Amino acid sequence: MKVEPIAWDLAKNIAFKTISYSDSSVSKERLDDLQSEFSSLGKTAEKFVKKETGLKPSGSSICKVVDRKGWVEANLSSFRRLLSLTQDKISNSLIFKKALNPATSVAAGAELGLMLAWMSGKVLGQYDIAVGAPGEGDTVYFVADNILSVEKQYNFDKEQFRLWIAIHELTHRAQFKGVEWMQAYFEGLIQQSVDMAAFTFEDLLEGLRRSFSEISAGNNPLAEHGLIGLFASTKQMGTLRKAQALMSLLEGHSDVVMDRAAEAIIKDAKLFSTTLHARRQSSSHLNKFVRQVTGMEAKASQYKKGEEFIYYVESLSGKKLMNRVWTSPDMLPTLDEISDPGLWVERVGGK
C-alpha cells in the first residue's frame, strides 16, 4: 500500500471540524451575490494593474468567492500539486523512505489541517499559482466570511474595500503570468526546498548553534525566519533567503500598486492599510506566537522592506530602472539588497 507524505483526507476533516466550531457561516445565496460582484471587480482590477505595472498577463483572470472550507479545499489541492513537482526526488530519497510511514503521514495531515483551519480565518484573498497538474490553479480566491467580517467590524466602504483586495491579488497574477520566467523560477525554488525537509543530525546542530548565537546577541530567530530557520543548514538557509527575497519583492510590489490605486480610484486605501496593520499588531499572544512559528511575522516585516525597496529605487531613477527586476532572475534583488537597495542599484548599473 502506497503511503502519501500527508494524510490528505485527515487534514481536510480536521480543518473542517475546527472551522465548524466558529460562528461564521455564509449562505449559498450570499456567496452567489459576492461571486457576481467579484467577477466584475476582478475585470476592473485587472485593467488597473495592467495600466499601472505594464505587465500583460496571458489569458483572463478567474475570480472565485469561497467560504473558509472552500479555501481549505483549494489550498489542499494546491499543496498536492506542489508536492507533485518533487515526487521523484521524494521517492528516491533514502531519508524520505525511512521517514515516510503511516504514522508520519497522519501527523503531517493533522498538523496541516490545524494550520489551514487557523489560516482560513485570516486570509482575505489569495492567488493560486498554476503549478503542478496542468489545467489547475491560476485562480484568485476571495474568502467571503473574512471579508464580510472585516467590513462589518470596521465599517469599511464595501465596494472600495473589495476592489482594493482584488487589485492586490490581480497584481500577483500579473507577476506570475506577465513575467515569462517567473513561474519556472518559483518552481525551481520549490524543487530546492525539498532539501530543507531532509534534515541530518549535523544540520540540526548547525542550525541550533546559529539560533543560540542569535538569541545571545539579543535577536529573535523565530521572528526572522520562522520555525524552519531554527534548524536549517547554511545551504538550506541560502534557498530560504532566495524565497524570502522573491516574496518580499512581489508582496512589496503589490502593496505599491495598491498605494497608487489610492491616488487613482480608491480614496480609502490608506485607511484599509493602516487599520489591518493595527489589527495584526493588536492580535493575541497566541496569534503572534503562531505567526512567528510559521514565519508569517517575518513575512510581514520583509514585505514592508520590499515596498521600501521599490520606492527607493524609483526615487533614484523612476520605473525604468525598477522594471529591470522583471527582465531575468539575475536581476532579482537578494535579501541583503532588499534591506539595502543601494547595493542592488549599484549592481545593476543604476545611478
Domain residue ranges of the chain, discontinuous segments joined by +? 1-146, 199-351
Question: What nine digits make up the cell of 213?
Answer: 548565537
Whole-angstrom Cα distance, residue 336 to residue 323? 19
Mean pLDDT score across all residues of the chain: 80
Question: What nine digits make up the cell of 226?
Answer: 520562522
pLDDT higher than threshold 60 for residue 273: yes
Whole-angstrom Cα distance, residue 17 to residue 31? 21
Name the more confident of 5 and 223.
5
Q: Which of 127, 31, 36 is CA-nearest to residue 75? A: 127
How far from 311 is each of 88, 226, 235, 243, 278, CA to CA, in Å? 42, 27, 31, 21, 22
pLDDT higher than threshold 70 for residue 16: yes
Contact 190, 86 (CB under 8 A): yes
> pLDDT-derived band of residue 148, with 50, 70 and 90 as boundaries?
very high
How far from 135 is each of 122, 139, 140, 345, CA to CA, in Å? 28, 11, 14, 39
Mean pLDDT of 278-303: 56
Fold of 1-146: Lysin (1.20.150)
pLDDT higher than threshold 80 for residue 303: no
According to the model, what pLDDT value does residue 285 have? 45
According to the model, what pLDDT value does residue 216 have? 56
pLDDT higher than threshold 80 for residue 335: yes
Q: Which of 98-112, 177-191, 322-336 has the highest mean pLDDT?
A: 322-336
β-pair partners for 134: none
pLDDT higher than threshold 90 for residue 313: yes
Cβ contacts of residue 314 below 8 Å, gap of 6+?
321, 322
The model carries a pTM of 0.82
Cβ contacts of residue 196 below 8 Å, gap of 6+?
228, 232, 236, 239, 240
What's the chain look like in SS3?
CCCCCCCHHHHHHHHHHHHHCCCCCCCHHHHHHHHHHHHHHHHHHHHHHHHHHCCCCCCCCCEEEECHHHHHHHHHHHHHHHHHCCHHHHHHCHHHHHHCCHHHHHHHHHHHHHHHHHHHCCCCEEEECCCCCCCCCCEEEEEHHHHHHHHHHHCCCHHHHHHHHHHHHHHHHHHHHCCCCHHHHHHHHHHHHHHHHCCCHHHHHHHHHHHHHHHHCCCCHHHHHCCHHHHCCHHHHHHHHHHHHHHHHHHHHHHHHHHHHHHHCCCCHHHHHHHHHHHHHCCCHHHHHHHHHCCHHHHHHHHHHHHHHHHHHHHHHHHHHHHHHHCCHHHCCCHHHHHCHHHHHHHCCCC
Contact 40, 143 (CB under 8 A): no
> pLDDT-derived band of residue 51, with 50, 70 and 90 as boundaries?
very high
